[in-house]
Amino acid sequence: MGYLNLTFAGRAQLIKSVLSTLHSYWASVFILSKGIINIIETKLRKFLWQGSTGRGYAKVAWDQLCRPKEERGLGVHNILVINKALMLKHLWKIIHNDRHSIWVDWILHHRLCNNSLWTFNGSTGSWGWKKIKKLRPVQRGIIYQVGTGTTFKLWQDIWHQQGPLSISYPRGPEVTGWPLNSLLSKALQRGHWNWPNRTDPYISEIVSQLPPVHQNSPDTIIWRHASGQFSIKSVTELIQPPTDRVVWHGLLQGRYKIPRHNFILWLAILEKLSTLDKHWISRGDNGCVLCDGQSVSTGLSRVGNNASNGLVKDGDLNTRLMQPLVHFWQRWLQQAQQLNL
105 and 157 in a single domain? The answer is yes
- Indicate whether 322 pLDDT > 60: no
What is the pLDDT averaged over residues 101-109? 88
100 and 228 in a single domain? The answer is yes
71 and 110 in a single domain? The answer is no
Domain count, the chain: 3
Q: Is the dihedral angle over the CA atoms 171, 172, 178, 179 positive or is it negative?
A: negative
Domain assignment present for residue 266? The answer is no
Domain assignment present for residue 121? The answer is yes
Domain assignment present for residue 268? The answer is no
pLDDT value at residue 243 = 84
Residue 307: which domain range? 274-339
Q: What element of type H or E holds 122?
A: none
90 and 72 in a single domain? The answer is no
Question: What's the pTM?
Answer: 0.74
Q: Based on the number of CB atoms within 10 Å of its own CB, is 298 exposed (0-12), middle (13-18) or buried (19 or more)? A: buried
308 falls in which pLDDT band (50, 70, 90)?
very low
Each residue's pLDDT tens digit, 118-173: 988 877 778 888 888 888 887 778 999 999 999 999 999 999 999 999 999 999 99
pLDDT value at residue 324 = 46
Q: Please state, in angstroms and as integers, the Cα–Cα distance from residue 329 to each residue in 199, 269, 303, following that order.
A: 67, 9, 7
Of 185, 217, 239, the residue at which a domain comes to its end is 239
